[in-house]
Amino acid sequence: MIRALIVITFGLLTATSSAWAYRVIEQPEAAHELALGQVRLPAGQSGTVVFTACESCRTTAMRVTDQTIYFANGTQMELADLRDIAEDLLATTVGRDDTIVYIYYDVASLRVNRIAISYRS
pLDDT digits (tens, 9 = 90+) for 98-107: 899 999 999 9
Q: Which residues contact 85 (CB under 8 A, 6 or more apart)?
A: 72, 117, 119
CA distance 43 to 49: 8
Determine, yes or no, domain membership for 19: no
Residue 70 lies in a domain: yes
Q: How many domains does the chain have?
A: 1
Provide the residue type at 78 as one letter: E
Is residue 26 included in any domain, yes or no?
A: no
User: What's the pLDDT tens digit per position in 26-68?
Assistant: 889 999 999 999 999 999 999 999 999 888 999 999 999 999 9
Is residue 35, in this structure, part of any structural domain at all?
A: yes
Is residue 14 in some structural domain?
no
In a domain, residue 46? The reply is yes
Does residue 106 belong to any structural domain of this protein?
Answer: yes
Q: Residue 20: which pLDDT band, with cuts at 50, 70 and 90?
A: low
Considering the domain boundaries, does residue 1 fall inside one?
Answer: no
Cα distance between residue 33 and residue 91, in whole Å: 21
Residues spanned by the domain of 105: 31-118
List the strands of the sheet with 39-40, edge to edge: 39-40, 48-52, 59-63
